[in-house]
Amino acid sequence: MLLFGISMEINHIGIIPDGNRRWAKMNGATVQQAYNKFFDKFVEIVDYLHSQEVKIISFYVASKENFMRSVEELNAILAEFENALSKNILSSFSNQNIKLRFIGDKSLWPKSLLDLLEQRKLNEEQTVQDYNLLVNLLIAYNPIDEINETIYTKKSLCIEDLLIPERVDLIIRSGGQPVRLSNFLPLQSGYAAIHVFDDYFIDIKLTDLDNVIAKYRAINMNFGK
């Protein structure tokens, strides 16, 4: 049933994958083991959303505030992220015409990650000319930084000038309550629908995700009009 307004297209999905430390504690795993499964689930979900003809995915790998966690925990997260990039994500996504865009405070990124991404940039220029899915990976992201950079480089502050200029249609957050954006693309998410899974990100089932997308595609939106 159509609820109100204009038919809602799900072109841009934001993902806030909360609860990995809680998942690790509940399952007797280390943080690094949890993030190993976390990035496997990330690839699975991207593949699924690609099949659903979603055009853009913005994925919250880590906020800038997350970089204030213990060195041990942060190193574990980044080590698994780099491992997933080098062993699976880069080659797999390139072969599927999926383009990656990395957003965040690069001064906080380790040199090993910067070196890997520089090599990725060279490879991407050779292999990803036309893409049908764009994946934004937010690492050490803070919206104030995005605003400041936009004002500095563009001399204005319009949504179209932001590092991520596309409006978010649907935000999916895992890990249950509370419902909050946690500084995730607030300017782009003004009219985004928000769905919260009680499951932790690692435990999200594709059948449940399919039901969520179908539900929100059936909703009409007025966008304030």
User: How do residues 33-67 score in pLDDT, each as one tens digit?
Assistant: 999 999 999 999 999 999 999 999 999 999 999 99
Q: What whole-number distance in Å separates Cα of residue 104 and Cα of residue 142?
A: 7
Instruction: Specify whether the CB–CB gap between 67 and 108 falls below 8 A.
Output: yes
| Cα 214 versus chain centre, distance | 20
A 10 A CB-CB count for 220 gives 12
- Does this model's pTM top 0.75? My answer is yes
The residue behind tokens 């050779």 is 126
Say yes or no to pLDDT of 1 above 80: no
Stretch 80-92: mean pLDDT: 89
Q: How far apart are the first and last CA of the chain?
A: 20
Instruction: Specify whether the CB–CB gap between 4 and 225 falls below 8 A.
Output: no
Helix (H, G, I), strand (E, B) or coil at 47: helix
The residue behind tokens 């990656």 is 100
Say yes or no to pLDDT of 5 above 50: no
φ/ψ (deg, to 5) at 196? -110, 120
Which string of DSSP letters, residue by residue, matches 131-165?
-SEEEEEEEEE-HHHHHHHHHHHHSS--GGGSSS-
Helix (H, G, I), strand (E, B) or coil at 173: strand
What pLDDT shows up at residue 128? Answer: 56
Say yes or no to pLDDT of 30 above 50: yes
Q: What whole-number distance in Å separates Cα of residue 140 and Cα of residue 145?
A: 10
Q: In what helix (H) or strand (E) does residue 223 lie, and over which residues does it extend?
A: none
User: How do residues 185-208 score in pLDDT, each as one tens digit?
Assistant: 999 999 999 999 999 999 999 999
DSSP-assigned letter for residue 203? G
- SS3 helix, strand, coil % of the chain, rounded to 5? 50, 20, 35
Residue with more model confidence, 9 or 142: 142
φ/ψ (deg, to 5) at 133? -150, 130
Q: What whole-number distance in Å separates Cα of residue 129 and Cα of residue 202?
A: 32
Say yes or no to pLDDT of 223 above 60: no
User: How do residues 136-166 score in pLDDT, each as one tens digit?
Assistant: 999 999 999 999 999 999 888 888 999 999 9
**How much of the chain, in percent, has pLDDT values that exceed 70?**
90
Say yes or no to pLDDT of 75 above 60: yes
Domains annotated on the chain, with CATH: 6-221 (3.40.1180.10)
**Token code pair at residue 96:** 């599927």
